[in-house]
Amino acid sequence: MGTLYLVATPIGNLEDITLRALRILREAALIAAEDTRVARKLLAHYEIETPVVSFHEHSPAARLREVIDRLAGGDVAVISDAGMPGISDPGSRLIAEAVAQGYKVLPIPGPSSVTAAAAVSGLADEGFTFVGFLPRKESEKRARLRELAAAGLPLVLFESPNRVRALVDTLADLFPQADVVAGREITKLHEEWQRGQPGDLLDKLSERGEYTIVVRTNLDVDSPAAVDLDALLRDALDEGSSLRDAVDRVIAATGLPRRAVYQRALVLNRDAS
């Protein structure tokens, strides 16, 4: 019975891979890759000839079964385009199915833009919240950011180059005093880091290369003013949540007393009607 190995691969510089990762990739019976074109560049660089199949968010159920079936006869290595599989990538489907079928799943740790950015930022020494990609819809993005900010921890976000300025513009509106560290093309030839408050960064951001962004909102989470209760409730109600679900969602995000949140939700719902 084989093992499903989650193999971290370089996030840019091909030298950033562990000896153990190279051994697992060579010894596995099969490599399941998010994008076989990206995978083959890495494998060719290290002269690894293990068979490769694609596995991504649009892969059919038949491909999932094919990869799981290969575990009956040997080990399978899962790799994403960059970093650790299963973090903001479709590898989680394979992981869940392998566990359900009784196969062992083991990580092969390595490069991560999340921990790289958190460390370089100097903002996350007491912990952070990993967010990944925020919703694309502006109202949903704002609601999510408000919920996350209420927890009081720095946020680590992913963003694409064509949407990064819109994200920072939203941060400037919601948290103008925030500390932001934006890493672009981390470990690659044109690696770049920008630091400052959101309004200061808008004109400094390039629309080339993927971003990992660390945000410390600098809200006083013990102050009532730190939580825009009306905005949180309106966002939840606008997205179609029932009154009860909206209240539960806001309580979970803020820790505010149920009675206070419910009373305010009743007022907003009545005014909207």
DSSP secondary structure letter of residue 153 = S
pLDDT above 80: residue 163: yes
Give the Cα separation of 165 and 193 in Å (integer).
15
**What residues does each domain of the chain span?**
3-111, 114-216, 227-272
pLDDT above 90: residue 226: no
pLDDT above 60: residue 222: no
Highest mean pLDDT among 28-32, 144-148, 221-225: 28-32
* Rounded average pLDDT over 178-196: 96
- Residue 92 identity: S
* pLDDT bucket at 227, cuts 50 / 70 / 90: low
Give the position of tokens 């927890």.
151
Q: What percent of the chain has pLDDT over 70?
A: 95
pLDDT above 60: residue 79: yes
Phi-psi region of 48 (alpha: psi -120 to 50; beta: other; left: phi over 0): beta
Q: What is the pLDDT of residues 240-269, one digit of tens each?
A: 788 888 888 887 776 676 777 788 888 888
Length of the chain: 273
Q: What is the pLDDT of residues 36-54, one digit of tens each?
A: 999 999 999 999 999 999 9
In this prediction, residue 224 carries a pLDDT of: 46
Which comes out higher in pLDDT, residue 147 or 105? 105
CATH (one of 1.10.10.10, 3.30.950.10, 3.40.50.720, 3.40.50.300) for 114-216: 3.30.950.10
Give the Cα separation of 202 and 217 in Å (integer).
17
Give the Cα separation of 87 and 108 in Å (integer).
13
pLDDT above 80: residue 197: yes
Q: Which residues contact 125 (CB under 8 A, 6 or more apart)?
A: none
Distance between the two ends of the chain, CA-based, in angstroms? Answer: 61
CATH (one of 3.40.1010.10, 3.40.50.920, 2.30.30.170, 3.20.20.70) for 3-111: 3.40.1010.10
Dihedral sign (CA 193, 198, 200, 202): positive
